[in-house]
């Protein structure tokens, strides 16, 4: 019908439009700012750092990122000044008419440059964060090893490319404070960022999510910035202000996935069993700390894969550079770490001349085993079963044999690749305890049953799943339950909508709140053991008459036995793991050097599948993004700026590129998840890149260890290999 | 709107008259204003979305004289006298178009931002080829980018709108097979 209202579809009375003057250089001191006289600047509201009533800082984890650059810029496109005008078509010229003079400073563009510390661009040493994870005794294992295999693996930046660009509308008044409406994942993150910038009490800040056209992590941290900017312009101009980026600005200025470099050194015994793993994992964090520490944490905890290994050392570092700050993106460090691990498993298999399937099977974690953080696997682990299913559904062995026969005579080389992996659901370690989420259910006087949660819908199904959980737990019709508006003035803080935590963690709180509500109604309003929906609502009204508001809120409760040591990186890293085995069939054309994913099988265990159609949609969408990450999506950097910041030349998979995707769920309800659910949203992004590059290895006999892998990269190696073979 | 540019330019330019979703509409706008902006800003038909502004993503797809066009690439003067159909014109008298129903039932929309353009591209296809196979569906939607679904459920939705029985066959994919893992007994140790 076209009636859903996204932020750009909303008009407010007397609304102006905002735009951003951005840094043209990667690093330097701001010397002067001049305004071209051909513009009548009296028509504009102009905001600089000096106009910020509170702190010039975007609050997240480390308070290092200014809301507006004051005297110094640390990356291209860093916001320096804001402009607002009643006519949005006047803003582009005005932005171009603000001239900023800089004194350039040396900039750092690679992990290696940052590690060398010749130029310090952040803190005392460029090091945004480091973790050390140790299990057993790695150093003594090398001498006992039958084989030692080393490898280095790299992943590039990836752009979210949500189809709706970032956007926000803000209003300001001295009496009611700041109100923002926008495209965002985490209303309370934006809330937390606005407060110190405006130096206002909690009751003077209100954040409302509008329909959000895709996010994938891209609207986890960045919306705090654009919300502060729009609100500053609203305060300065005295009008509501809408800021909506166009695609080029969105691509150039907003966060992306952290690039990574992962080095593996692995000791194995004679039978191909893992003896020791030493992993050096480094990410490029960009100019400010933002979420780099937590992304690095998840990368660290996923770097050893779903395997049993007695001796492990992971050194993880995140380095500052002078690119835009990298941020949250579906998988949150896990895709980088899993790409390295699963590509490395195939390298080990090749070195030991063991079938890659067999090598994995020999090393899988099982129930009762301890993983890298010595978290004991207490819930069922069915990797063998997932693997068997993946092999059967893909007809893996017969197909590989067929390809081995056909490839020598064909210019198109086909191969199959496999990836086995897990993804931890919810916040890492004690994160969920710190979040202390509050969520629940209320029944309004007009008989509406509402879920009260700050978790947002952006296409992944939050609203459907949470209302479904509430309806099922209350024993009433799904159609009778709705979500309360995602508005910090209405809903409590049930934590951010990230980390595949909504169904499992918040779903479980809603389920408990429903039981609590039923208990209240039984005790105080005479609700019988069995009841109809009408009787349920009548009981709510009796309760209201005698006790007031019909509301039931619950806080997060950790599953028993969750102990996590943040210093030693030891203990229960995640409340639950989702498990998967993926198989990719890839065809490499040795004439055009294009690699095409022809077929894809995805077998997973994600607890109970609450909504099968949406769950499969999550898996398919994640796989498509994973295919893009592996084969299409390259952020081209030029002097610190994204050079291909257009859909014309930043290429994502289209309807012609996505293969048939076969999705299988093996269900084991998880007792501490909302109606048995575990996280699902991020898992499917983890598997495709290694499965695809393993398939290319299978097809061509050449190992590629970096993504994105574009035709020119295939050409460079394959043509050289052919030339050598010919000589 | 500011009192500057638009007022003066519309004084200079003749009004654009065209037919939008079966209604005659007159727009007093500069002739080079994008059809997308005229639909959204002047006619308040915000169902048509802007994704890229350069004709790559198809979010702004509308039908113009029976052709599918990217409304971000059309100066409104080209639409003089044209028949335009936007997503708001798909449902008749509040009754959802079969494609809209199929997208709802088969998970063809996740975040929804590409959906209006996707629906228009699919409607265009079905008008030209009432019984498309997967090859035709893929080709017809190749100019419309979706970042959420991986397209599989969109293909299935279009196939289901044609024939609800054959959605899976048409798309050569499975729809999320569910199986209770305990039925076969976990291989856990």
* Per-residue model confidence as pLDDT tens digits over B67-97: 999 999 999 999 999 999 999 999 988 899 9
Ordered by start, the domain boundaries in chain B are 13-89, 98-171
Pick B88's closest partner by Cβ from A1, A85, A165.
Answer: A1
Fold of B13-89: Ubiquitin-like (UB roll) (3.10.20)
Q: How far is A465 from chain B (nearest CA, A)?
A: 13
Best probe of the B interface among A386, A615, A617, by most B CBs < 10 A, is A617
Cβ B46–A660 below 8 Å, yes or no? no
Strands A311-320 and A127-135 turn out to be: antiparallel
What superfamily does domain B98-171 belong to in CATH? Answer: [2Fe-2S]-binding domain (1.10.150.120)
CATH class of the domain whose range is A7-106+182-199+207-236: alpha beta
Q: Which of A461, A616, A658 lies at the smallest CB-CB distance from B175?
A: A616
- Does residue B1 carry a pLDDT above 70? no
Whether the Cβ atoms of residue A586 and residue A597 lie closer than 8 Å to each other: yes
Q: Which residues of chain A have pLDDT under 70?
A: 1-2
Check CB contact under 8 Å for B147 and A4: no
Residues 6+ apart with CB under 8 A from A181: A7, A10, A168, A169, A170, A208, A209, A210
Residue burial A657-695, b: 16+ Cβ < 10 Å; e: rest: bbbbbbbbbbbbebebbbbbbbbbbbbbbbbbbbbbbbb
Q: Does B175 touch chain A (CB under 8 A)?
A: yes
At the top level of CATH, the class of A437-555 is alpha beta
Q: Phi first, then psi: what are they for A6, rounded to 5°?
A: -85, 170
Q: Please indicate whether, in this complex, the C-beta atoms of A655 and B175 are within 8 angstroms of each other.
A: no
**Predicted local distance difference test score (pLDDT) of residue A562:** 81
Closest in A86, A459, A624 to B150, CB measured = A624
pLDDT tens for A668-715 read: 999 999 989 999 999 999 999 999 999 999 999 999 999 999 999 999
Interface membership of B58 toward A (CB under 8 Å):
no
Question: Which residues in B lie closer than 8 A to residue A246 (C-beta atoms)?
Answer: 50, 53
pLDDT for A627 equals 98
Highest CATH level, class, for A386-422+575-727: alpha beta
Q: Is B32 on the interface with A (CB under 8 A)?
A: no
Residues of B in contact with A164 (CB under 8 A): 49, 51, 111, 113
Radius of gyration of chain A (CA): 26
- Cβ atoms within 10 Å, residue A528: 11
pLDDT at B189 (0 to 100): 28
* Chain A closest-CA separation from residue B135 CA (Å): 9
Q: Which residues have CB under 8 Å from A341's CB, separation 6+?
A: A262, A264, A302, A303, A304, A305, A421, A690
CB-CB: which of A87, A654, A660 is closest to B172? A660
User: Which one-letter DSSP state was computed for residue B109?
Assistant: -
CA nearest A16 in B: which residue?
Answer: B1
Angstrom distance (rounded) from CA A339 to CA A337: 5
Question: In chain B, what residues touch A683 (CB-CB under 8 Å)?
Answer: none
Could you tell me if B187 lies within 8 Å of chain A, comparing CB atoms?
yes
Q: Quick check: B4 pLDDT over 60?
A: no
Distance from CA of B81 to the nearest CA of A (A): 24
Nearest CA in chain A to B91: A1
**A625 touching chain B per CB within 8 A:** yes
Chain A residues whose beta carbon lies within 8 Å of the beta carbon of residue B49: 6, 8, 163-164, 213
pLDDT at A430: 83
ipTM reported for the complex, 2 dp: 0.96
pLDDT of residue A2: 62
Which residues of chain A are within 8 Å of residue B188 when distances are taken between CB atoms?
Answer: 366-367, 380-382
Bridge partners of A6?
A211
Instruction: Work out the angle between the directed axes of helices B115-128 and B152-162 (0-180°, nearest 10).
Output: 40
Strand order of the β-sheet with A98-104 is A72-73, A28-35, A98-104
Q: For residue B176, what pLDDT is reported?
A: 60
Vertex A532, ends A528 and A538: CA angle to 5°? 75
Is the pLDDT assigned to residue B185 strictly greater than 60? no
Q: Are A451 and A502 in contact (CB under 8 A)?
A: no
């Amino acid at each position: 019908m076209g009636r859903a209202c996204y932020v750009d579809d909303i008009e407010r009375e007397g609304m102006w439009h905002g735009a951003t003057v951005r840094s043209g250089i990667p690093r330097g001191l701001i010397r002067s700012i001049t305004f071209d006289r051909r513009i009548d600047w009296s028509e504009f509201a102009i905001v600089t750092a000096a106009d910020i009533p509170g702190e010039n800082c975007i609050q997240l984890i480390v308070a290092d990122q200014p809301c507006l650059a004051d005297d110094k810029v640390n990356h291209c496109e860093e916001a320096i000044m804001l402009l607002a005008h009643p006519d949005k078509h006047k803003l582009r010229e005005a932005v171009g008419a603000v001239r900023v003079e800089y004194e350039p400073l040396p900039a750092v563009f690679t992990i290696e440059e940052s590690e060398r510390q010749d130029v310090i661009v952040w803190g005392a040493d460029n090091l945004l964060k480091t973790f050390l994870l140790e299990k057993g005794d790695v150093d003594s294992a090398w001498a006992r090893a039958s084989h030692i295999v080393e490898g280095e693996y790299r992943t590039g930046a990836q752009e979210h490319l949500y189809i709706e660009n970032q956007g926000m509308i803000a209003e300001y008044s001295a009496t009611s404070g700041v109100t923002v409406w926008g495209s965002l994942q985490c209303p309370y993150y934006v809330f937390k960022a606005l407060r110190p910038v405006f130096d206002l009490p909690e009751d003077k800040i209100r954040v409302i999510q509008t329909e959000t056209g895709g996010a994938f992590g891209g609207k986890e941290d960045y919306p705090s910035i654009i919300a502060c900017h729009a609100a500053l312009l609203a305060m300065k101009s005295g009008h509501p202000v809408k800021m909506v980026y166009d695609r080029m600005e969105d691509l150039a200025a907003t966060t992306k996935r952290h690039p990574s470099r992962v080095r593996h050194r692995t000791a194995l015994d004679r039978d191909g069993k893992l003896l020791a793993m030493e992993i050096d994992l480094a990410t490029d964090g960009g100019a400010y700390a933002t979420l780099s520490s937590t992304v690095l944490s998840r990368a660290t905890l996923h770097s050893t894969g779903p395997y049993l290994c007695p001796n492990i050392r992971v050194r993880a570092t995140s380095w500052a550079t002078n690119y835009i700050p990298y941020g949250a993106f579906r998988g949150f460090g896990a895709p980088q770490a899993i790409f390295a691990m699963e590509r490395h498993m195939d390298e080990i298999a090749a070195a030991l001349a063991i079938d890659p399937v067999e090598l994995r099977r020999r090393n899988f974690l099982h129930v009762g085993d301890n993983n890298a953080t010595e978290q004991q696997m207490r819930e069922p682990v069915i990797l063998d079963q997932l693997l068997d299913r993946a092999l059967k559904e893909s007809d893996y062995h017969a197909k590989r044999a067929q390809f081995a026969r056909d490839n020598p005579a064909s210019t198109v080389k086909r191969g199959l690749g496999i990836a086995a992996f897990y993804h931890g659901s919810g916040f890492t370690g004690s994160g969920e305890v710190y979040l202390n989420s509050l969520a629940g259910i209320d029944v309004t006087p007009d008989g509406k049953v509402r879920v009260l949660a700050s978790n947002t819908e952006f296409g992944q199904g939050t609203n459907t799943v949470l209302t479904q959980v509430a309806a099922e737990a209350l024993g009433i019709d799904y159609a009778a339950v709705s979500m309360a508006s995602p508005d910090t003035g209405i809903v409590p803080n049930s934590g951010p909508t990230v980390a595949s935590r909504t169904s499992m963690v918040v779903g479980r709180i809603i389920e408990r709140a429903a039981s609590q509500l039923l208990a209240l109604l039984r005790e105080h309003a005479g609700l019988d053991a069995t009841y109809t929906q009408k009787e349920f609502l009548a009981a709510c009204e009796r309760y209201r008459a005698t006790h007031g508001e019909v509301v039931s809120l619950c806080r997060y409760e950790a599953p028993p036995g969750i102990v996590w040591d943040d210093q030693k990186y030891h203990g229960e890293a995640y409340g639950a793991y989702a498990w998967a085995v993926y198989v990719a069939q890839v065809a490499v054309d040795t004439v055009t050097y294009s690699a095409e994913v022809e077929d894809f099988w995805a077998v997973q265990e994600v607890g109970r599948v609450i909504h099968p159609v949406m769950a499969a949609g999550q898996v398919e969408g994640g796989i498509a993004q994973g295919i893009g990450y592996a084969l299409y999506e390259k952020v081209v950097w030029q002097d610190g700026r994204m050079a291909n910041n257009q859909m014309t030349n930043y290429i994502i998979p289209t309807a012609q590129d996505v293969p048939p995707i076969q999705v299988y769920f093996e269900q084991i309800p998880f007792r501490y998840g909302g109606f048995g659910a575990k996280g699902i949203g991020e898992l499917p992004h983890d598997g495709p890149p290694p499965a695809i590059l393993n398939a290319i290895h299978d097809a061509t006999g050449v190992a590629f260890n970096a993504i994105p892998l574009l035709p020119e990269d295939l050409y460079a190696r394959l043509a050289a290999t052919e030339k050598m073979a010919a000589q | 709107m500011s009192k500057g540019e638009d007022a003066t330019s519309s004084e200079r330019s003749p009004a654009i008259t065209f037919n939008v979703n079966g209604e005659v509409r007159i727009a007093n706008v500069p002739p080079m204003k994008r059809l997308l902006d005229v639909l959204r800003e002047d006619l308040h038909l915000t169902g048509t979305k802007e994704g890229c502004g350069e004709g790559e993503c198809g979010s702004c797809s509308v039908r113009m004289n029976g052709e599918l066009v990217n409304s971000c690439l059309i100066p409104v003067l080209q639409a003089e006298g044209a028949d335009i159909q936007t997503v708001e014109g798909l449902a008749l008298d509040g009754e959802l178009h079969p494609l809209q129903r199929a997208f709802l039932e088969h998970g063809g929309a996740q975040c929804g931002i590409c959906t209006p353009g996707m629906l228009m591209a699919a409607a265009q296809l079905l008008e030209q080829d009432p019984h498309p196979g997967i090859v035709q569906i893929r080709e017809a939607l190749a100019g419309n980018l979706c970042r959420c679904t991986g397209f599989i459920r969109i293909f299935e939705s279009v196939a289901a709108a044609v024939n609800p029985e054959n959605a899976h066959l048409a798309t050569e994919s499975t729809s999320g097979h569910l199986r209770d893992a305990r039925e076969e007994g976990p291989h856990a140790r």
